[in-house]
Amino acid sequence: MKALVYGGPGVKSWTDAPDPVILHPTDAVVQVDTTTICGTDLHILKGDVPAVQTGRILGHEGVGTVTEVGASVTSLAVGDRVIISCIKSCGHCANCAMGLFSHCLGDEGRSGIGWIFGHLIDGTQAEYVRVPYAENSLYKLPDGVPDTDAVMLSDILPTGFEIGVQYGQVKPGDVVAVIGAGPVGLAAIATAGLYGAATVVAIDRDTNRLEQSRQFGATDTVISGTGDWKQQVLALTDGAGVDVAIEAVGVPLTFTMATEIVRPGGHVANVGVHGKPVELHLEDLWIQNVTITTGLVNANTTRMLLKLVAQKKIPVDRLATHHFTFDQMLDAYDTFGRAAETKALKVVISRS
């Protein structure tokens, strides 16, 4: 088969790779019909995720068709159309029993890590992929949900909702600021209303993304490159600060920004993938009663979000701004890597 293979920091190629095979009775093999590129893939290519070894097939998002199932798999069948979750779950370990799928203790990949595709095992930017613990890691798709919508449920929609909105403990009437209006930030913006946020402020340097954010539910926008960005945000809260600040970029500056605009007693929910140390100013924060959360998505809300997507309650269709075929994989990476220039949100890559 063809696959996007990691060759070390800054190196990738669309090349031949071995076809995946069933290794365990709980496995399934899925023909990947649609995949996409995540900001985490760009972090990997920068060398920010050293656990990713040379030769690894990248990608952790996808929609496809089951082509083979292991002997223990009974709830899935060849021909089923499925979402491939970015998080694997054995379904029975202590962490999975608590819904903490991101730290599944199953021995596939590495015990205690749920994100394995394109990280610890071969991923979804390929014609086929082996899915461990298939009955808990694949989600059957209902008729009427197109691949371009469904692929957003592999990662970014549950990530923005769980790690941004839920971990941030958004409540009815809250003022929520989302720093970074990229795909995950837009997912947080699109789902903040599910918990009743009254004001949602999108903060970014990219004016195009700020314009796009209003289509996802942002009530206000602030250009972060301006000298008075902080004053603009605080003005929307009568100077008190926001109830919830969601960091959706993954660089030290944006994390610090989040801590600077949150009110006493508020929440900072870090969603971004950080590749460098961040300075935490506890000398200022200790007295503010601020809660800071971090996290890797559990994908335990995927089924619920799928119902909302199927009913057109969340505008995930607006995320797919660019379309490519598998043989254009490198072009897709180029487009996504220059998002500010190309105005890309999510690039969708399909078989044909």
**What is the domain range of residue 331?**
2-155+316-350
Which CATH number fits the domain that encloses residue 249? 3.40.50.720
Q: 81-84 and 128-131 as β-strands: parallel, antiparallel, unpaired?
A: unpaired
E-strand ranges in the chain read: 2-6, 12-16, 28-36, 62-69, 81-84, 128-131, 138-140, 175-179, 199-204, 220-223, 242-247, 262-270, 291-293, 320-325, 346-350
Tell whether 8 and 128 lie within a shared domain: yes
Q: How many domains does the chain have?
A: 2
51-167-134-95 Cα dihedral, nearest 10 degrees: 80
Identify whether 305 is part of a domain: no
DSSP annotation of 223: E
Identify whether 285 is part of a domain: yes
Q: Look up residue 325 and give its amino acid.
A: T
Which CATH number fits the domain that encloses residue 51? 3.90.180.10
Q: Look up residue 64 and give its amino acid.
A: G
Tell whether 198 and 327 lie within a shared domain: no
| Contact status, residue 297 vs residue 155, Cβ threshold 8 Å | yes
Identify whether 288 is part of a domain: yes
Q: 262-270 and 138-140 as β-strands: parallel, antiparallel, unpaired?
A: unpaired
Per-residue confidence (pLDDT) for residue 225, from 0 to 100: 86
Tell whether 282 and 194 lie within a shared domain: yes
Tell whether 182 and 150 lie within a shared domain: no
Identify whether 303 is part of a domain: no
Tell whether 151 and 162 lie within a shared domain: no
Tell whether 164 and 189 lie within a shared domain: yes
Tell whether 6 and 150 lie within a shared domain: yes
Per-residue confidence (pLDDT) for residue 48, from 0 to 100: 85
Identify whether 133 is part of a domain: yes
- Name every residue whose Cβ is closer than 8 Å to that of residue 238 and which is 6 or more positions away in sequence: none
Identify whether 302 is part of a domain: no
Identify whether 94 is part of a domain: yes
pLDDT digits over 121-161, tens only? 999 999 999 999 999 999 999 999 999 999 999 999 999 99
Tell whether 186 and 277 lie within a shared domain: yes
Tell whether 109 and 178 lie within a shared domain: no
Per-residue confidence (pLDDT) for residue 111, from 0 to 100: 87
What's the predicted TM-score (pTM) here?
0.95
Full strand arrangement of the beta sheet holding 242-247: 220-223, 199-204, 175-179, 242-247, 262-270, 291-293
Q: What is the 3-state secondary structure of 125-165? A: CECEEEECCHHHHEEECCCCCCHHHHHHHCCHHHHHHHHHH
Q: What is the 3-state secondary structure of 85-136? A: CCECCCCCCHHHHCCCHHHCCCCCCCCCCCECECCCECCCCECEEEECCHHH
Task: Return the closest-CA partner of residue 153 out of 168, 144, 140, 135.
Answer: 140
Per-residue confidence (pLDDT) for residue 275, from 0 to 100: 82
DSSP annotation of 57: B
In angstroms, what CA-CA distances link 214 with 133, 229, 269? 38, 18, 21
d(CA 167, CA 150): 23
Residue 254 backbone phi and psi in degrees, to 5: -70, -30
Tell whether 148 and 238 lie within a shared domain: no
d(CA 132, CA 144): 27
Tell whether 161 and 149 lie within a shared domain: no
Chain centre to alpha carbon of residue 244? 19
CB neighbours (10 Å) of residue 329?
24
Tell whether 161 and 133 lie within a shared domain: no
In a structure prediction context, what are the per-residue pLDDT tens digits for the chain, which is 352 residues long?
A: 999 999 999 999 999 999 999 999 999 999 999 999 999 999 899 998 899 999 999 999 999 999 999 999 999 999 999 999 999 999 999 999 999 999 999 988 888 899 999 999 999 999 999 999 999 999 999 999 999 999 999 999 999 999 999 999 999 999 999 999 999 999 999 999 999 999 999 999 999 999 999 999 999 999 998 899 999 999 999 999 999 999 999 999 999 999 999 999 999 999 998 888 999 999 999 999 999 999 999 999 999 999 999 999 999 999 999 999 999 999 999 999 999 999 999 999 999 8
d(CA 264, CA 241): 8
In angstroms, what CA-CA distances link 14 with 5, 44, 265, 330, 333? 6, 16, 49, 7, 11
| Contact status, residue 12 vs residue 107, Cβ threshold 8 Å | no
Identify whether 233 is part of a domain: yes
